[in-house]
Amino acid sequence: MKTVLIVKQEDAKAAENANRILQVLTELSVVVLPTDALSCADFITVVGGDGTIVHAAKQAAEYNIPVLGINSGRVGFLAGLEPEETHLLANILRGDYHVDERMLLSVTFTVKGETVTRYALNEAVITRNGPARMIDIQLKDGLGGGRMDYRADGLIVATPTGSTAYSLSAGGPVLDPFVNGIIVTPLSPFSLQSRSVVFSPAHPLHIQAKCPSGGRIIVCLDGEEPIDVTGQEITVQKASDRVVRLIRIKKDTFFDIYKHKIMERSV
């Protein structure tokens, strides 16, 4: 089998763990390819935290390649293994594992007159680039025709995978990743009645935001570099052309992982 090993950059702990993992892969006769040979791999091995796993998983989704995350961060909610469990890598060669499919969001907007689509595994955040002041946000349901208006610091549009990330910290609900839905959670809304809403993934959501006091509107996908979308409509919907495939070797359920890594954590 062939894999590509992706390691969190400039992280001593991740580099140390990666060296041990590389040794295990070599002992198992797994060929480790360079990072520019992603399309030739049977699976991707990622050593890092959830952010590293998210970014690598989106790259792998372009080629429909499954990803195994090995935790080297603080939480590692998306990781399939902990560093001390690398002996379980042999299960992949035996076919003793499962592949969970996770939905992606496609986020479409215009950059310099060109329509662009980007993808998010956790969330798309629409907010203001500058001082923390409220913005006016209009959300339209592209299928049912309904409309919702928010006055808030921003809007989080999250997948079930992202329900345990930024949306959760903003008061959003936790969704089992196998429950299809798109979560819309306002950031610090002006109205106490503004709560998270879960939409069907069949519904494209059209979003426009304005700064009453001036300023730029940005969209940030999975914590990546913000993109200026001032004056534009953003369309967010379930991606129809790709999914993220995560390798699960252990028998832990979503509830087990959520309880251990979220509910029982002190920090």
Residues marked active site are found at 50
Q: Are 66 and 246 in contact (CB under 8 A)?
A: yes
Q: Determine the 3-state secondary structure of 48 from DSSP.
A: strand
Q: What does the alpha-carbon distance between residue 248 and residue 214 come to, in Å, rounded to a whole number?
A: 47
What count of Cα atoms within 13 Å lies in the side-chain half-sphere of residue 10?
A: 0
Q: Determine the 3-state secondary structure of 61 from DSSP.
A: helix
Q: For residue 112, give every residue at least 6 positions away whose Cβ sits within 8 Å of its Cβ, in sequence order, or none.
A: none
Q: Within 10 A of 245 (CB to CB), how many other CB atoms are there?
A: 18
